[in-house]
Amino acid sequence: MIKYSPIVALDVANLDQVNTILKQLDVNPRPMVKIGMEVFYHFGPRIVKHVQAMGFTVFLDLKLHDIPNTVERAARVIGALGVEMTTIHAAGGSEMLAASKRGLMQGAQEIGKAPAKLLAITQLTSIDDQILHNQQHIAISLQESVRNYAKLAESTGLDGVICSALEVPVIREVVSPDFLCITPGIRPNSAQNGDQKRVVTPNQAAKLGSNGIVIGRPITQSADPKFAYKQIAEEFKEEK
Ligand SMILES: O=C(O)c1cc(=O)[nH]c(=O)n1[C@@H]1O[C@H](COP(=O)(O)O)[C@@H](O)[C@H]1O
């Protein structure tokens, strides 16, 4: 099973903060870093190039969700950035997911690189059963919804899903062993949950079979990001 070092979410306000965090993450092995909407909307593709030039692989998390044609064209642009992973909402359906895969492959072909791993967002880790039932009016359980999206993603040729580690065991029942489950909603014991609803510790994520944890504020808002990262990485290594 592929197991990535913890992936650090660079949800920060400016370039100085990006650079400060990256300097702190100069550890061995270097973690992948996640560029999300905040940083990407500020700086655009040049921030991807900047982070890559500093020696980090990039997970570009833009959570595409639109009609298939629009998504295919956007995914082509992402594909040509040479990133390692990227995201799309499974709720857009199989036609949209297949279109994004096509776009990503075209973009990757243009730069002669392997395509980014395409991961489907199942249910965000800020969603709980109450929101699912009372606001989205989805009658099935959260676990069933996540598992259904994982099946849909795999059958459409995606590489994996984003889910809470809590759902990894039920997803593994229905997908092939190399299907990736990348899991945000990670909180070390002392950390605040904030807006996250489905949370586990790094060690619980490891025990539940996560292929990689995504973690932001407990590192980026820590007084000592390097120390925080190393502790989390140690905890995620331990599967007992
Ligand atoms: O796609 C994601 O990465 C993602 C999906 C999800 O369901 N939940 C989730 O928290 N994320 C991202 O994971 C990161 C979590 O950050 P922290 O809550 O600060 O650890 C953020 O960048 C979120 O955008």
CATH code for position 108? 3.20.20.70
| Helix extents (H) in the chain | 15-24, 37-43, 45-53, 68-79, 94-111, 129-134, 142-155, 168-172, 202-208, 217-220, 225-237
| Ligand 1 pocket member 121 (CB < 6 A) | yes
How far, in Å, CA of 223 to CA of 40, rounded?
25
> Are 227 and 184 a contacting pair, CB within 8 Å?
no
| Ligand 1 pocket member 167 (CB < 6 A) | no
Per the document, the length of the chain is: 240
Atom from ligand 1 closest to the CA of residue 127: 7
> Would you list which residues are annotated within the binding site?
11, 34, 61-70, 125, 187, 196, 216-217
Convert the pLDDT of each residue in 208-226 to its tens digit.
999 999 999 999 999 999 9
Centre a 10 Å sphere on the Cβ of residue 183 and count the other Cβ atoms it contains.
29
Domain limits for position 133: 7-237
Confidence of residue 3 (pLDDT cuts 50, 70, 90): very high
End-to-end CA distance of the chain: 16
Extract the tokens encoding 171. Answer: 């997803």
Output the pLDDT for position 190: 78
30, 45, 162, 212, 226 from 26: Cα distances, Å? 6, 22, 26, 19, 8
Convert the pLDDT of each residue in 18-67 to its tens digit.
999 999 999 999 999 999 999 999 999 999 999 999 999 999 999 999 99
Output the pLDDT for position 232: 97
Residue 206 lies in a domain: yes
Task: Give percent of the chain with pLDDT exceeding 90.
Answer: 96
How far, in Å, CA of 23 to CA of 16, rounded?
11
Instruction: Tell how far the Cα of 127 is from the centroid of ligand 1, in angstroms.
Output: 12
Rounded average pLDDT over 154-178? 98
Q: Per-residue pLDDT for 240 more than 80? A: no
Alpha carbon nearest to ligand 1 atom 11, residue: 184
| Ligand 1 pocket member 86 (CB < 6 A) | no
Rounded average pLDDT over 143-161? 98
Residue 64 lies in a domain: yes
Residue 164 lies in a domain: yes
Instruction: Tell how far the Cα of 61 is from the centroid of ligand 1, in angstroms.
Output: 9
Residue 228 lies in a domain: yes
- Model's pTM, two decimal places? 0.97
DSSP 3-state of 88: strand
ipTM surpassing 0.95: yes
Residue 103 lies in a domain: yes
> Would you list which residues are annotated within the binding site for substrate?
11, 34, 61-70, 125, 187, 196, 216-217
Instruction: Please state at what angle helix 45-53 crosses helix 15-24, rounded to 10 degrees.
Output: 30
Output the pLDDT for position 99: 98
Output the pLDDT for position 191: 83
Alpha carbon nearest to ligand 1 atom 16, residue: 216
Count of domains forming the chain: 1
Task: Give percent of the chain with pLDDT exceeding 70.
Answer: 100
Active site residues: 61, 63, 66
SS3 content of the chain, % helix, strand, coil (to 5): 45, 15, 40
CA atoms within 13 A on the CB side of 199: 16
